[in-house]
């Protein structure tokens, strides 16, 4: 089962200084942090803040290519979590044919923002993440949970490259 999520924000992990995309369940308080690379975070941040660039960035190019091919992105789905790595699929349609494309979650999310399509996470991924976070050092897990729950809009706007 897929759970619809929204990008709640983008911020820096205060411990590792690595960017994190925070996905939030559209219908509950469930959050899913996904650590991403700096360049991928920048691509997401540019679109969140609606910053236009003089030339198309990679995800803008992908959007333009898909549009030129008359392909429509229906949704992106974070499908798996294996060995601490998230996997995603971009679902699109072209000439009545449904196509799935393997993707890193960061790229799928950057594209989803640009084409304004829904973002989903497989329920099993949320269960695995919850189980994994429950199996870590309780102090660290509790600190992370409190930190994520305590985020406000100002915190989520503090992402700086």
Q: What kind of fold does domain 2-156 have according to CATH?
A: Bifunctional nuclease domain (3.10.690)
pLDDT of residue 156: 57
| pLDDT tens-digit map of 84-98 | 899 999 999 999 999
* Domain spans of the chain, in order of start: 2-156
Q: What mean pLDDT is predicted for residues 131-158?
A: 58
Q: What mean pLDDT is predicted for residues 133-154?
A: 56
- Provide the token pair at 81: 């979590």
pLDDT tier at 26, thresholds 50, 70, 90 = confident
pTM, two decimals, is 0.83
Q: What mean pLDDT is predicted for residues 86-115?
A: 98
- Inform me whether the pLDDT recorded for 24 exceeds 60: yes
pLDDT of residue 107: 97
pLDDT of residue 50: 93
pLDDT of residue 98: 98
| pLDDT tens-digit map of 58-81 | 999 999 999 999 999 999 999 999
Q: Where are the beta strands (DSSP E) in 16-154?
A: 19-25, 31-35, 71-82, 85-94, 97-103, 119-122
pLDDT of residue 139: 43
pLDDT of residue 133: 73
- How far, in Å, CA of 125 to CA of 93, rounded? 25
- Inform me whether the pLDDT recorded for 11 exceeds 60: yes
pLDDT tier at 145, thresholds 50, 70, 90 = low
**92 — alpha (psi -120 to 50), left (phi > 0) or beta?**
beta
């Amino acid at each position: 089962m897929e759970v619809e999520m929204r990008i709640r924000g983008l911020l820096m992990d205060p411990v590792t200084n690595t960017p994190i995309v925070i996905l939030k369940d559209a219908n509950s308080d469930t959050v899913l942090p996904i650590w991403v690379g700096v360049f991928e975070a920048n691509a997401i941040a540019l679109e969140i803040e609606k910053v236009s660039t003089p030339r198309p960035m990679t995800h803008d190019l992908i959007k333009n290519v898909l549009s030129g091919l008359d392909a429509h992105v229906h949704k992106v789905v974070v499908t798996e979590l294996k060995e601490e790595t998230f996997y995603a699929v971009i679902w699109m349609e072209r000439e009545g044919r449904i196509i799935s494309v393997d993707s890193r979650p960061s790229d799928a999310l950057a594209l989803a923002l640009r084409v304004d399509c829904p973002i989903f996470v497989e329920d099993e991924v949320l269960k695995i993440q919850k189980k994994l976070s429950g199996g870590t050092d309780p102090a660290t897990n509790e600190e992370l949970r409190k930190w994520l729950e305590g985020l406000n809009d100002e915190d989520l706007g503090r992402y700086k490259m």
